[in-house]
Amino acid sequence: MIDPVVREFTAADEVALDELAALARESIREARGGARWIETHPMPNWNDFGVVALVADLDEVVVGYLVARIGGDQVMTVDEVFVLDQAREVGFGDALVAEIQRIARERGARRLEAEALPGDRDTKNLWERAGITARLITVSVDL
């Protein structure tokens, strides 16, 4: 059994996280809503003062991440969560979400919000396991 390790980002993680973020974007490019999501979500700035960046690692190899920020409205927003395919189904995503919930409470957030692309059942399941449910669905059309 794997015991997922989740920790806060350090400067030593930056290259690995940049590679994972690029892979995450490539993996959703053709998904419904993926191209638009990529357009509106620049690559994370891991060192940004307002960002909480968490790392999932397995034997000191970075296998996933979560990026969030807390706004003035006391809402912690998860901007991105990604786990490598080969590290899924063993609890890394759940561990990342549990840790951001703990951090959000610790920092005085009153709500946690996140996104999932339409048809991305894995991400929807991740949020639902944590008790995070839809409050708004955004629809759009290219003109």
**Taking the domain 5-129, which CATH number applies?**
3.40.630.30
Q: Look at the chain and count its residues.
A: 143
Rg (CA), the chain: 15
Domain coordinates in residue numbering, the chain:
5-129
- C-alpha–C-alpha distance, residues 64 and 27, integer Å: 14
Q: What is the pLDDT along the chain (143 residues), one digit of tens a residue?
A: 678 899 999 999 999 999 999 999 999 999 999 999 999 999 999 999 889 999 999 988 999 999 999 988 999 999 999 999 989 889 999 999 999 999 999 999 999 999 999 989 999 999 999 999 888 888 877 78
Q: pTM for this structure?
A: 0.93
User: How many CB atoms are closer than 10 A to CB 128?
Assistant: 13
DSSP 35-68: HHHHHHSPPP-TT-TTEEEEEEEETTEEEEEEEE
